[in-house]
């Protein structure tokens, strides 16, 4: 088996997620892009775990998924709170600290 | 070496004589600003107190030396002392300062009685007395320097008494600035002294020089003499003294004739052991030249006080010459007699000016002898004394200088002798124009004799101008310091010859003056007969113009050049430059703070990537 394809897929997922974080203005999409980046990392970790014939990478993936789930919960809650306060979840509207 | 004075408690007497005028001026300036009469009486009482204390000090110490000092400042291993040294010279100057100061205070009561700013005036006089006594009593160079600056400051205050007139304001500035030039040299001299001797105490330096005469250098003593040149208004810093006459006349008498300018001579006397032969001969030549040059200037002046100012310059030149010829005692002797007759003449001119409602041009006087007999008579005494008429005070001291010069340095003698001729010429000119002939203006016609407050001091000073030359009349504690040099001069040859020459000098000068000014005339007779000579005298050899040219054409452009350099390099390149560089970085950094979460996440991830790249060695490490 060749790990290159998997690593390429992981890099692609990470890159798409990164572009999403940097470019998109909707914070919901940004949150989703973050998940995409985490999943890219997860794929890379699983690949290394297979290639290296040990469970270190796979084990780490479980932790990441747990943390990601918690993060999404907190992030969504924050988004809801933000929307309640501002009636908007677009990043350029959250400018209280600027100026 | 004279014996030391050992009795306890003398230092507290000296401290009180020093602090009394300071206290008086502080009280005047703090509490009596509105109350001129009380302030003037307080100041006069203070000067009377100074006189009493000074006489006590003088007679108590007798012919001994009293030295006392305490620590003033302590910086690590370096100590600055505050101390007194009462020796013969200090006693003499103490007498002159306190006695003449007292008379002039009394005279001021009359002269300033209708002045609006009496408290300021008398407060200034008291500050002056304080500083002058400080110079007299000080036992080390740094203390002398401190009080030296203080007399300069009080002189500035008092010259600027009529500060609303442009002339007085300019003159006070000029006096202060020109004195700074001299004092800078003096300061360098003090530093050099400390460098060489590790002490500034006069007695310690004297002992060190006695031990090893090669320690003194010409540079060192000439730097110290700069202080003398500035304060005593000798060439080339003489330009401030004639202008200083813008102050009230009693101030001119006290500060710019009798005491402060004479302090330069006193300083020389105190440090005379540090002078090398070269420096002495330079001082003698400078002094003699000044004696002659100032005489010429006086001849071309019309302002009564300026004539007297130039005559002061000339007499200070005599003292400097006497010092340079190795007769410091004679210089002090002349200082004393000069203080008497010059204070007399200044006060006399003050009396005249007061009577003529502040008219100072001698061509607007005339015929005042009949209106002001006491002033005229006492003034004549002063004129005779300064001209060296036989057996008056000036005769003894000036002929001693001339005799010393005749026997040691012919060039100096010729200069001084010509100066003596001129002295009697311009002094009699002043006398004839002011007191003889007809009144030439309304104010001179209406003049009346001044009050007894003004004529009293005149009579006392006139008496001293007559007998002041007989040193045996004074008690020993005062004139003891002069005796060595006087007996040395008395033992010199050519006495008879000098009496003849000296008598000829005043007779020729007075006679020429009588010829020119003793009868009716139109305009200035000297100008009519010798226009070139008169113009030359009047121009004062263009020193003011030369200094003005130097300042405006050389110093100002240089200052502007420095200013441009400063703007360009220090404030431009260094200050603004460094600020500009950091501002540039700030601009760059500020650009990163876009306030957008996208931008932050972008920088964050870029940072992580760079860090990883560095960690795994992609950046070439």
Q: Please provide the DSSP assignment of A14-40 as one string.
A: HHHHHHHHHH--BHHHHHHHHHHHHHH
pLDDT for position A63: 93
CB contact (8 A) between residue A21 and residue B601: yes
Higher pLDDT, B187 or B472: B187
Q: Which residue matches tokens 């008086």?
A: B24
Average pLDDT in the B441-465 region?
84
Tell me: pLDDT of A99 over 60.
Answer: no
pLDDT band for position B444 (50/70/90)? confident
CB contact (8 A) between residue A92 and residue B602: no
CB contact (8 A) between residue A92 and residue B596: yes
Tell me: pLDDT of A1 over 70.
Answer: no
In sequence order, what DSSP letters do the residues of B213-241 get, joined into one string?
GGG--HHHHHHHHHHHHHHTT-TTSTTHH
Q: Which residues contact B272 (CB under 8 A, 6 or more apart)?
A: B323, B328
Tell me: pLDDT of B303 over 70.
Answer: yes
Tell me: pLDDT of B496 over 90.
Answer: no
Quick one: B563 exposed, middle or buried, by C-beta within 10 A (0-12, 13-18, 19+)?
exposed
Ranges A16-20, B438-442, B518-522: which has the least confidence: B518-522
Average pLDDT in the B425-452 region?
83
pLDDT for position B481: 82
pLDDT for position A8: 93
Q: B359-394: buried (b, 16+ CB within 10 Å) or exposed (e) per residue? A: bbebebbbbbbebbebbbbbbbbbbbbbbbbeebbb
pLDDT for position A66: 94
- CB of A29 within 8 Å of a chain B CB? The answer is no
**Minimal CA separation from B600 to chain A, in Å:** 9
Disruptive mutation site among B592, B593, B594, B595 for chain A (greatest number of A CBs within 10 Å): B595
pLDDT for position B583: 92
pLDDT for position B296: 86
Tell me: pLDDT of A80 over 90.
Answer: yes
CB contact (8 A) between residue B598 and residue A94: no
pLDDT for position A62: 93
Tell me: pLDDT of B211 over 70.
Answer: yes
Tell me: pLDDT of A31 over 80.
Answer: yes
Domains within chain A, CATH numbers bracketed: 3-86 (1.10.287.3510)
CB contact (8 A) between residue A22 and residue B596: no
CA distance B438 to B63: 52
Q: Which residues contact A76 (CB under 8 A, 6 or more apart)?
A: A31
Tell me: pLDDT of B1 over 80.
Answer: no
CB contact (8 A) between residue A22 and residue B598: yes
CB contact (8 A) between residue A94 and residue B601: no
Average pLDDT in the B321-343 region?
90
Q: Of the candidates B595, B601, B605, which has its C-beta nearest A98's C-beta?
A: B595
Beta strand spans in B42-112 (E): 66-75, 78-86
pLDDT band for position B258 (50/70/90)? confident
Q: Which residue matches tokens 């006193």?
A: B266
CA distance B292 to B262: 18
What is the percentage of chain B residues whose pLDDT exceeds 70? 98
- CB of A91 within 8 Å of a chain B CB? The answer is yes
CA distance B200 to B124: 29
**Minimal CA separation from A27 to chain B, in Å:** 10
Could you tell me the two tokens for B497? 């010859």
Residues of chain B that touch chain A, judged by Cβ-Cβ distance less than 8 Å: 595-598, 601-602, 605
CB contact (8 A) between residue A91 and residue B597: yes
Average pLDDT in the B459-474 region?
86
Q: Contact, B287 vs B321, CB < 8 A?
A: yes
Residues of B in contact with A82 (CB under 8 A): none
pLDDT band for position B522 (50/70/90)? low
Residues of A in contact with B601 (CB under 8 A): 21-22
Q: B225-237: buried (b, 16+ CB within 10 Å) or exposed (e) per residue? A: bbbbbbbbbbbeb
Quick one: B56 exposed, middle or buried, by C-beta within 10 A (0-12, 13-18, 19+)?
middle
Higher pLDDT, B529 or B621: B529
pLDDT for position B117: 84
- CB of A98 within 8 Å of a chain B CB? The answer is yes
Tell me: pLDDT of A53 over 80.
Answer: yes
pLDDT for position B448: 81
- CB of A82 within 8 Å of a chain B CB? The answer is no
Disruptive mutation site among B598, B599, B605, B607 for chain A (greatest number of A CBs within 10 Å): B598
Residues of A in contact with B595 (CB under 8 A): 95, 97-99
- CB of A97 within 8 Å of a chain B CB? The answer is yes
Please give the DSSP secondary-structure letter assigned to residue B350: H
CB contact (8 A) between residue A21 and residue B598: yes
Query: Is the backbone of residue B157 left (phi > 0), alpha (psi -120 to 50) or beta?
Result: alpha
> What pLDDT digit, counting tens, does each position of B57-113 carry?
888 888 888 888 888 888 877 888 888 888 888 899 999 999 999 998 998 888 888
Q: For residue B347, count other CB atoms closer than 10 A to its CB.
A: 36
CA distance B241 to B231: 9
pLDDT for position A97: 66
Q: For residue B561, count other CB atoms closer than 10 A to its CB.
A: 10
CB contact (8 A) between residue B596 and residue A91: yes
pTM for the predicted model, two decimal places: 0.78
Quick one: B72 exposed, middle or buried, by C-beta within 10 A (0-12, 13-18, 19+)?
middle
CB contact (8 A) between residue B598 and residue A95: no
Grouping H, G, I as helix, E, B as strand and the rest as coil, residue B138 is: strand
Ranges B55-59, B136-140, B369-373: which has the least confidence: B369-373
pLDDT for position B2: 64
> What pLDDT digit, counting tens, does each position of B523-577 carry?
677 777 777 777 777 777 778 888 888 888 888 899 999 999 988 888 888 888 8
pLDDT for position A45: 93
CB contact (8 A) between residue A22 and residue B595: no
CA distance B40 to B19: 18
CA distance B526 to B535: 10
Disruptive mutation site among B594, B597, B602 for chain A (greatest number of A CBs within 10 Å): B597
pLDDT for position B621: 61
**Minimal CA separation from B601 to chain A, in Å:** 7
Q: B404-423: buried (b, 16+ CB within 10 Å) or exposed (e) per residue? A: bbbeebeebbebbbbbbbbb
Higher pLDDT, B31 or B520: B31
The closest alpha carbon to B96, from B156, B50, B165, B141, belongs to B50
Average pLDDT in the B596-600 region?
78
Higher pLDDT, B49 or B259: B49
pLDDT for position B520: 64
Tell me: pLDDT of B136 over 80.
Answer: yes
Average pLDDT in the A33-61 region?
91
> What pLDDT digit, counting tens, does each position of B264-286 carry?
889 989 888 888 888 898 999 99
């Amino acid at each position: 088996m060749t790990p290159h394809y998997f690593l390429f897929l992981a890099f692609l997922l990470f890159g798409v997620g990164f572009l999403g974080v940097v470019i998109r203005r909707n914070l919901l999409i940004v949150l989703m892009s973050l998940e995409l980046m985490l999943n890219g990392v997860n794929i890379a970790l699983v690949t290394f775990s297979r290639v290296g014939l040990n469970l270190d990478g796979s084990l780490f993936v479980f932790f990441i998924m747990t943390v990601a789930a918690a993060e999404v919960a907190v992030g969504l809650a924050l988004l809801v709170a933000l929307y309640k306060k501002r009636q908007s979840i677009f990043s350029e509207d959250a400018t209280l600290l600027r100026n | 070496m004279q014996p030391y004075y050992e009795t306890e408690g003398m230092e507290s007497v000296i401290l009180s004589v020093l602090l009394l005028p300071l206290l008086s001026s502080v009280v005047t300036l703090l509490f009596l600003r509105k109350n001129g009469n009380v302030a003037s009486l307080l100041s006069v009482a203070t000067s009377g107190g100074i006189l009493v204390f000074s006489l006590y000090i003088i007679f108590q110490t007798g012919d001994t030396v009293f030295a006392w000092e305490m620590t003033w400042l302590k910086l690590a291993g370096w100590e600055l002392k505050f101390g007194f040294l009462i020796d013969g010279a200090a006693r003499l100057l103490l007498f002159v300062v306190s006695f003449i100061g007292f008379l002039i205070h009394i005279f001021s009561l009359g002269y300033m009685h209708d002045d609006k700013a009496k408290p300021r005036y008398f407060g200034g006089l008291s500050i002056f007395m304080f500083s002058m006594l400080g110079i007299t009593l000080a036992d080390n160079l740094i203390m002398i320097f401190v009080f030296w600056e203080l007399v300069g400051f009080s002189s500035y205050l008092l010259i600027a008494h009529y500060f609303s007139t442009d002339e007085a304001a300019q003159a006070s500035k000029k006096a202060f600035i020109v004195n700074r030039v001299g004092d800078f040299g003096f300061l360098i001299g003090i530093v050099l002294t400390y460098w060489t001797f590790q002490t500034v105490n006069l007695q310690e330096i004297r002992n060190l020089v006695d031990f090893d005469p090669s320690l003194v250098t010409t540079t060192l003593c000439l730097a110290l003499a700069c202080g003398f040149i500035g304060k005593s208004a000798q060439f080339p810093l003489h330009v401030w003294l004639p202008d200083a006459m813008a102050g009230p006349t009693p101030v001119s008498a006290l500060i710019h004739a009798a005491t402060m300018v004479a302090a330069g001579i006193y300083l020389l006397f105190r440090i005379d052991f540090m002078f090398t032969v070269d420096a002495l001969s330079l001082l003698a030549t400078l002094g003699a030249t000044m004696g002659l040059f100032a005489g010429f200037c006086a001849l071309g002046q019309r302002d009564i006080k300026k004539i007297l100012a130039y005559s002061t310059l000339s007499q200070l030149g005599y003292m400097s010459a006497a010092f340079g010829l190795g007769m410091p005692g004679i210089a002090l002797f002349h200082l004393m007699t000069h203080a008497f007759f010059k204070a007399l003449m200044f006060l006399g001119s003050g009396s005249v000016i007061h009577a003529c409602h502040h008219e100072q041009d001698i061509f607007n006087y005339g015929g005042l002898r009949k209106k002001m007999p006491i002033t005229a008579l006492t003034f004549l005494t002063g004129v005779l004394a300064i001209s060296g008429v036989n057996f008056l005070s000036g005769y003894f001291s000036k002929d001693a200088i001339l005799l010393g010069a005749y026997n040691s340095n012919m060039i100096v003698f010729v200069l001084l002798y010509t100066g003596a001729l001129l002295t009697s010429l311009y002094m009699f000119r002043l006398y004839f124009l002011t007191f003889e002939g007809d009144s030439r203006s309304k104010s001179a016609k209406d003049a009346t004799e001044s009050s007894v407050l003004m004529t009293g001091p005149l009579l006392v000073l006139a008496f001293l101008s007559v007998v002041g030359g007989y040193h045996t009349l004074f008690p020993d504690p005062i004139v003891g310091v002069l005796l060595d040099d006087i007996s040395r001069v008395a033992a010199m040859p050519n006495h008879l010859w000098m009496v003849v020459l000296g008598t000829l000098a005043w007779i020729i000068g007075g006679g020429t003056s009588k010829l020119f000014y003793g009868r009716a005339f139109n305009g200035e007779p000297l100008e009519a007969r010798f226009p070139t000579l008169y113009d030359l005298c009047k121009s004062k050899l263009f020193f003011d113009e030369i200094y003005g040219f130097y300042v405006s054409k050389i110093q100002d452009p240089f200052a502007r050049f420095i200013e441009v350099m400063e703007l360009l390099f220090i404030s431009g390149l260094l200050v603004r430059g460094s600020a500009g560089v950091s501002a540039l970085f700030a601009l760059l950094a500020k650009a990163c703070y876009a306030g957008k979460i996208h931008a932050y996440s972008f920088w964050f991830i870029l940072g992580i990537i760079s860090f990883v790249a560095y960690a795994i060695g992609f950046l070439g490490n």
